[in-house]
RNA sequence: GGCCUGUUCGUCUAUCGGUUAGGACGCGGCCCUCUCAAGGCCGAAAGAUGAGUUCGAUUCUCAUACGGGCUACCA
């Protein structure tokens, strides 16, 4: 043994999207590498030439980068023939054909594999194989009924293409992988893989099969299910820190009742044996809560940058407005939304002169008697010099007292008139930011159309 | 069908045989309050079922039920 350094890998197949379960598998591999001071390797299993495109690889690279899961070895670009980092490349299976051929020849020449109808089949042992899994424990894999009839399996198809079991094992061997951390869906395959490692004359790596992530109703999470694709989180305005934090909590626990943990803390505490053995259901609501926690703590500059981006995505160009105005407006939203994707609806009124007013809501808030009060308030606002939040609050309360009502009957219609919504940022601050001209125009317009 | 695996509040989880079974999300109530959030306080909510081991089982064993995975010349 030259080194006992941990080497783990994430080996996705580029299908065009990164499954949230795959992202967690990558995360757990990354965590283990960082925890042990080992290496995290990225390998692209692009053996299906027809299906795999560079764009599909890009999705994976971008997803991992977004999550902050940097790889020590692997491709630098989505181009299979492009540059990579690491000593055991190429890191695309499509570029490693020679290795597989050699390994198959070796098995063939030693009588451990044989040709059959144009394909190559591996001579699988009939005795049960015991898997010492770091998560699941000791698993004795007996032959299934079909395997009892023919335990041998194809490792090279009749068209010459090597199959998954073969390439996966050969690469793990050639890349010096010490721990295979992957989804539990591979547990049954592991017996085949162990047999192949033995056939190549080496000890298999250690295995850790992590449980699957299911939909909230317990069904399998497939491509179409909401939350299945990592890209969706990016689009919905989630923060990668929140997604990573949430994923850490699925099947692993810090055991100290805390939910919000920095990635550094997780790296320090993470270990394979503590991973739970049962599947976890995905709870989007809890992720959103966590995202809100992270979002609330965002420094204003970062919040602004992400907010501007989210607004632009919704067709709201904040560049058309003075920078100070945009800053002030967004400041009133900090800590009030859980997702950036909520912002266009929440703060859009700042960036339009055409606030949509719901007639029903208008009729309710601006009843005949209330209309008079709002008219009074409008006039009081018109006389305001400073138009500061504090002054506006004082003015509104004065009008309320004069009319013999609480603040509510004035606050709600004013908010509706100026924002088109019944909920939103602090009213007085929002009025100050909109400024006297816009506020008066909007109030007049609401009064006129009520 | 066969093989593998799992089962604590609705969900994520804590519990290294003895606890009023704890926390979090969500839910309900109250407080705070210019709306909505946030925050504070309170509440409802769990050991799948049946045996066994033990002075004592959520915890160990077995069975049953129910879930998940695998069973390809897919990965």
pLDDT of residue A149: 92
Asked if residue A405 has pLDDT above 90, the reply is no
pLDDT bin (cut points 50, 70, 90) of residue A354 is: confident
pLDDT of residue A209: 96
pLDDT of residue A1: 43
Instruction: Quickly give A218 CA vs B72 C1' distance in Å.
Output: 26
Mean pLDDT of A126-132: 93
Q: Which of A140, A192, A206, A223 is the catalytic position?
A: A223
**Residue A206: helix, strand or coil by DSSP?**
strand
Taking only the tens place, the pLDDT of each residue in A19-76 is 999 999 999 999 999 999 999 999 999 987 667 788 999 999 999 999 999 999 999 9
**Structure tokens of A364?**
């309710």
List bases, strand B, within 7 Å of protein CB.
1-8, 10-15, 22-26, 34-38, 67-75
A186 closest-nt by C1' vs CA:
B70
With distances taken from each CA to the C1' atom of nucleotide B22, the closest residue turns out to be A257
Instruction: Please tell me whether any atom of strand B lies within 7 Å of the Cβ of A152.
Output: no
Mean pLDDT of A280-288: 95
Higher pLDDT: A5 or A357? It is A5
Instruction: Please tell me whether any atom of strand B lies within 7 Å of the Cβ of A238.
Output: no
pLDDT of residue A391: 92
Tell me, yes or no, if the pTM score tops 0.90. Answer: yes
pLDDT bin (cut points 50, 70, 90) of residue A287 is: very high
Mean pLDDT of A269-296: 95
- How far, in Å, CA of A60 to CA of A245, rounded? 19
Q: How many residues in chain A?
A: 450
Mean pLDDT of A320-325: 94
pLDDT bin (cut points 50, 70, 90) of residue A2 is: very low
With distances taken from each CA to the C1' atom of nucleotide B70, the closest residue turns out to be A188
A167 closest-nt by C1' vs CA:
B75
- Taking alpha carbons only, the member of A153, A278, A260 closest to residue A214 is A278
Does residue A119 contact residue A157 with C-beta atoms inside 8 Å?
Answer: yes
- How far, in Å, CA of A180 to CA of A379, rounded? 72
**Structure tokens of A58?**
């890009």
Q: Which value does ipTM take for this structure?
A: 0.94
- How far, in Å, CA of A117 to CA of A288, rounded? 54
With distances taken from each CA to the C1' atom of nucleotide B67, the closest residue turns out to be A218
Instruction: Please tell me whether any atom of strand B lies within 7 Å of the Cβ of A132.
Output: no
pLDDT of residue A357: 86
- Is A220 annotated in the active site? no
Mean pLDDT of A138-157: 93
């Amino acid at each position: 043994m030259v080194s006992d350094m941990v080497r783990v890998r994430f080996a996705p197949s580029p299908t065009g999207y990164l499954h949230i379960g795959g992202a967690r598998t990558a995360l757990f591999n990354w965590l283990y590498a960082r925890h042990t001071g080992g290496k995290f390797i990225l390998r692209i299993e692009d053996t299906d030439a027809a299906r795999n495109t560079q764009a599909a690889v890009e999705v994976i690279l971008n997803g991992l980068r977004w999550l902050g899961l940097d790889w020590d070895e692997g491709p630098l670009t989505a181009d299979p023939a492009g540059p990579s980092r690491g000593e055991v490349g190429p890191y695309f299976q499509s570029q490693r054909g020679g290795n597989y051929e050699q390994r198959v020849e070796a098995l063939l020449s030693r009588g451990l594999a044989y040709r059959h109808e144009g394909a190559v089949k591996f001579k699988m042992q009939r005795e049960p194989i015991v898997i010492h899994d770091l998560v699941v424990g000791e698993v004795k894999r007996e032959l299934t009924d079909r395997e009892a009839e023919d335990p041998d399996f194809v490792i090279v198809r009749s068209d010459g293409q090597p199959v998954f079991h073969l390439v996966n094992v050969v690469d793990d061997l050639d890349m010096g992988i010490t721990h295979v951390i992957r989804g539990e869906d591979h547990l049954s395959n592991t017996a085949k893989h162990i047999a192949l490692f033995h056939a190549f004359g080496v000890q298999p790596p250690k295995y850790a099969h992590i449980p699957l992530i299911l939909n909230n109703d317990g069904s399998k999470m497939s491509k179409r299910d909401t939350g299945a694709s990592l890209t969706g989180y990016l689009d919905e305005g989630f923060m990668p820190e929140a997604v990573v934090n949430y994923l850490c909590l699925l099947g692993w626990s810090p055991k100290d009742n805390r939910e919000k943990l920095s990635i550094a803390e997780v790296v320090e505490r993470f270990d394979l044996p503590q991973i739970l053995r049962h599947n976890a259901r995905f709870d989007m609501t809890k992720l959103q809560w966590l995202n809100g926690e992270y979002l609330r703590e965002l420094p204003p500059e970062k919040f602004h940058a992400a907010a501007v981006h989210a607004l632009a995505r919704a067709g709201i160009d904040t560049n058309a407005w003075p920078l100070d105005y945009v800053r002030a407006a967004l400041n009133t939203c900090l800590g009030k939304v859980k997702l950036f994707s909520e912002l266009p609806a929440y703060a859009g009124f700042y960036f339009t002169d055409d606030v949509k007013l719901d007639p029903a809501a208008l009729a309710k808030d601006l009843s005949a008697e209330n209309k008079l009060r709002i008219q009074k308030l409008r006039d009081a606002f018109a006389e305001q010099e400073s138009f500061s939040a504090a002054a506006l609050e004082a003015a509104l309360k004065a009008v309320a007292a004069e009319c013999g009502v609480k603040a509510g009957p004035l606050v709600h219609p004013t908010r509706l008139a100026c924002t088109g919504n019944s909920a939103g940022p602090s009213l007085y601050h929002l009025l100050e930011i909109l400024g006297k001209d816009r506020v008066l125009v909007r109030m007049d317009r609401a009064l006129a159309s009520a």
